[in-house]
Structure 1
Amino acid sequence: MNNVAVIGLGIMGLPMAINLVKAGHNVVGFNRSSARIDELVAAGGRGAASIPDAVRDANVVITMLPDSPDVEDVVSGPDGVFAHTPAGAYWIDASTIRPDVAVRLAGAARDAGLKPVDAPVSGGEAGAIEGTLSIMVGGEFADVEAIRGVLDAMGSTVVHVGPAGSGQTVKAANQLIVAGTIQLVAEALVFLEAHSVDTEASVKVLAGGLAGNRILDRKAAGMVARTFEPGFRVDLHHKDLGIVTAAARAAGVAIPLGSMVAQLMGTLRAEGHGSLDHSALLLLVEQMSGRSHA
């Protein structure tokens, strides 16, 4: 049993925290919106009034926040995680941030007496609720093994991929693949509809062959129905693709298809769809095709 503080109870953070409660850990959560804290309390966790209040007795602190600046704001400064978490505790950053920022913050955490692990996740809201997330873990091997029970409560695929920052690098690759796959599924669905083919039947047979993928399994039905309730928002995937393109440029790696999808995601966001699920890339395919869904 661990005393776990979870900072950030959003679409992903709250169900992850609830699964930690179910696994038997003492969980305290902090979030800017008190309604999310109330949901954690209803599930058996505790709420905190501030970051110092949340982390003061923790031996594991998890941050699950939207972007690099958010993580820096929460962990740094006199009221931050690093200043108030007991020495020797583990800091798990499950956010998706820039790999270089992850490396820098890991150094700052060690200076504060903490043991840092970057552990971004993939699987969306459904994976967070089901506890089946894929977790890409960067950090010292011994630290990762020490908190494996915590990670296993949130994900079904937990893999140590290297030193600090490695988890974020793998997550960037993940977001590249996911965005490209969503775009291709969107193009395929609009193509099928243009030919008046039964899309439900088509998805079933495509999912059973070499074209099968998790986007077809989890997203295609909503795309066909044009329901884009956010499991993962366009705004966030746009941010992630910015991380990918910058990291690829820094490494001298060409990502022509990834760069195109990054532009499409940015366009979708610029048209006011940032709060929709990233599968709303289908709307852009329709628009470029001169089609509207009846």
Structure 2
Amino acid sequence: MKQRIGYIGLGLMGKPIAHNIMKAGFPLTVHNRSRAPVEELVAEGAELADSPRAVAEASDVVFTNLPDSPDVEQVVLGPNGVIEGCRPGMVFIDNSTIKPETARSIASKLAEVEVSALDAPVSGGDVGAKAGTLAIMVGGPRDTFDSILPIFQAMGKTITYVGESGAGQVAKACNQIMVAAQMVAMGELLLLAQKSGVDPRRVIDAIQGGAAQCWALDVKPQRLFAGERQPGFKAYMQHKDLG
């Protein structure tokens, strides 16, 4: 029988990740502050929980995907939080991008109630979340990582055990440095091409096959050229990640 999964935080990344977990056949219980994404997943077969504690009570593995360190601390350790609904032997996994020291602190507190924790931030944007092709970088006990691997495989393609608790968050910080550099460079080169009277589309075609090839050039320009302005990630979150 497959493990029962709980997912808390159904934003740009969380909702498609939760959808893919359920699509892979895992029973799913969800919780989110706003109701619209919850209702979408419930319509697809998920169960609704009215608090993080209730999610934990209904699950064997609980995921969170939240904006920042204080949010994860509140949802996990606060009143009516995940920790209040946990049982020994459960697993907690955080897909958020937070401070490594926060990940370690939460893992330490959960260990006191015999719950194993993994920090498992993701990369690949909303496109990767929807397609199930995310990169997942994981910190925490290796045996817990091994036991959870089938769930990660429902979410992503590049799944890497980085090291002990907090190591996944360190890897994500490194990832964000590279992504930020790519995005700034992409904006500058598109502007340079346009101001120089050269078709930016042809410039992208010309440089994608060379040393400039990167994720930002593979994914972003075509969306911009098509007039798509719906963000796959938000600037204030990138600023937070780099802080």
If the length of structure 1 is used for normalisation, what is the TM-score?
0.80
Residue in 2 aligned with 1:119? 120
Superposition pairs for residues 42-81 of structure 1, below 5 Å? 42-81=43-82
Say yes or no: does 1:172 pair with 2:170.
no
Q: Distance in 2 between matches of 1:224 and 1:190?
A: 13
Q: Greater CA deviation, 142-151 or 203-212? A: 203-212
Q: Distance in 2 between matches of 1:36 and 1:183?
A: 31
Residue in 2 aligned with 1:245? none
Residue in 2 aligned with 1:28? 29
Residue 111 of structure 1 aligns with an amino acid whose one-letter code is E
Q: Greater CA deviation, 128-137 or 50-59? A: 50-59
Give per-residue Cα distances to partners, 1:31-75, cap 9 Å, x unaligned: 001111001112221111222221102110000000000000000
Q: Is the CA contact 1:58–1:86 (under 8 Å) kept in the aligned structure 2?
A: no
Give per-residue Cα distances to partners, 1:197-219, cap 9 Å, x unaligned: 11111111211111111101111
Residue in 1 aligned with 2:199? 198
Residue 205 of structure 1 aligns with an amino acid whose one-letter code is A
Q: Which runs of 5+ in 1 are unaligned?
A: 243-294
Pairwise CA distance, 1:226: 5.9
Pairwise CA distance, 1:84: 0.8
Say yes or no: does 1:7 pair with 2:14.
no
Q: Distance in 2 between matches of 1:53 and 1:201?
A: 53
Q: Is the CA contact 2:51–2:81 (under 8 Å) kept in the aligned structure 1?
A: no
Superposition pairs for residues 206-217 of structure 1, below 5 Å? 206-217=207-218
Pairwise CA distance, 1:228: 2.8
Q: Greater CA deviation, 170-179 or 109-118? A: 109-118
Pairwise CA distance, 1:184: 0.7
Q: Which has the higher contact order (CA 8 A, sep 6+)?
A: 2
Pairwise CA distance, 1:78: 3.5
Q: Distance in 2 between matches of 1:51 and 1:103?
A: 20
Q: Figure out how many residues of one structure are paired with residues of the other and give that number.
A: 242
Q: Distance in 1 between matches of 2:207 and 2:239?
A: 27
Helix, strand or coil: the match of 1:219?
A: helix
Residue 115 of structure 2 aligns with an amino acid whose one-letter code is L
Q: Is the CA contact 2:62–2:93 (under 8 Å) kept in the aligned structure 1?
A: yes
Pairwise CA distance, 1:224: 4.5
Residues 1:68 and 1:223: Cα distance change in structure 2 (over 3 Å)? same
Residue 197 of structure 2 aligns with an amino acid whose one-letter code is S
CA RMSD of aligned residues (A): 1.1
Helix, strand or coil: the match of 1:10?
A: coil
Helix, strand or coil: the match of 2:71?
A: helix
Residue in 1 aligned with 2:242? 241
Residue in 2 aligned with 1:143? 144
Pairwise CA distance, 1:102: 0.8
Q: Is the CA contact 1:57–1:85 (under 8 Å) kept in the aligned structure 2?
A: no
Residue 126 of structure 2 aligns with an amino acid whose one-letter code is E
Q: Is the CA contact 1:82–1:109 (under 8 Å) kept in the aligned structure 2?
A: yes
Q: Distance in 1 between matches of 2:91 and 2:50?
A: 21
Pairwise CA distance, 1:223: 3.7
Residue in 1 aligned with 2:183? 182
If the length of structure 2 is used for normalisation, what is the TM-score?
0.97
Residue 72 of structure 2 aligns with an amino acid whose one-letter code is V
Give per-residue Cα distances to partners, 1:68-105, cap 9 Å, x unaligned: 00000000134110111222111000000001111111
Q: Is the CA contact 1:161–1:167 (under 8 Å) kept in the aligned structure 2?
A: yes
Residue 169 of structure 2 aligns with an amino acid whose one-letter code is Q
